Structure 1
Amino acid sequence: MTFKIIRISIALLLAISLQSCGFYRLNAVSIPDNIKTFQVDYFGYTAVQTEVGIERTFTLALQDLIQDQSSLTLVTSNGDYIYQGEITRYYISPITATANNRASQNRLTIDINVRFINTKNDEESFEKPYSFYYDYDANTILQNAALDTALEVIFTQITQDIFNDTLAKW
């Protein structure tokens, strides 16, 4: 019984010391002191096929993620960090087939081209494509709740990748 209390006490002290020392962080955001704001310009689309409104959904998802995971303030112009881009591909393809050569699963793939501008240090600016997919049953019509689920999965991954490349520097 005493050994268990000692172990719990040591674990608690270790957790407190790690937090107070400042060398361990769950969200390893790397933002220079001179960076205070960010702007996310409206992401349009150049994709031949797309769903109406997904560009707005993506723009808001990126804004929300950066606000939630950093201390930066969202502005509509003159941001220290600027995110621009467009949805370049919205593509549905069969990925598995049944014995009678019918699709049993489909894959929605979305590609997004991002231009990141660091107005304080141009050497950190870049342009890069991001892509992710969502697999779903071929009998599902990709609209309403099914489409919302697919977009949430895809946009969560892409926005996190963008965040990691621009703020976490992983």
Structure 2
Amino acid sequence: MTDDKDDEIRELRTRLEAIEARPKTPPVKRPMSGCLTFIIVAILGVAGLYVIGSIAGAIDEVETATGSTDWTPPDGFTPYRTDNGSWVAVEWSRPTRAECRTGGWCIAMNVVAKDACPRSLYASIKLLGEGGDNIGWTNDSAQGVDAGERVRLVFSTYEAGAKSAAIAEMSCY
């Protein structure tokens, strides 16, 4: 009985470490028109690179504590351990107009799985408001994902206050 409780505590600690290691997304603003859009996109791009660099440095420390992935994700992608223990690499991206047809707020994510996800690659994100408050969620999924295959997930919402997002749940089965 004690061994079962010890195993359960170890598993809960491992899951907590994985949750704390999840990367946060850089803030994304709604598109504007004209020259102002170009300036804002350029500024966000530079800020995004700074945030990604900071996250990448933190990921190195986390991997040392939780064990190496023995897998090198593509350049520009951040390694992420899914809820079921498999590894994927994530790259946040701005969606195209064709992808973001709702007229609301949306963000895209490129994902590469270390191992195949033949049944489902699933991700849900929490929507964060101006002050970082959790104001909702949205999700997307793909099926028949091969190992190393690039998958594009697009998350959209009509939630007017969404300013950024963070991974809430991700699985690969």
With normalisation by structure 1, the TM-score equals: 0.35
Structure holding more helix per residue: 1
State which structure, 1 or 2, has the greater radius of gyration over its C-alpha atoms: 1
Higher relative contact order (CA 8 A, sep 6+): 2
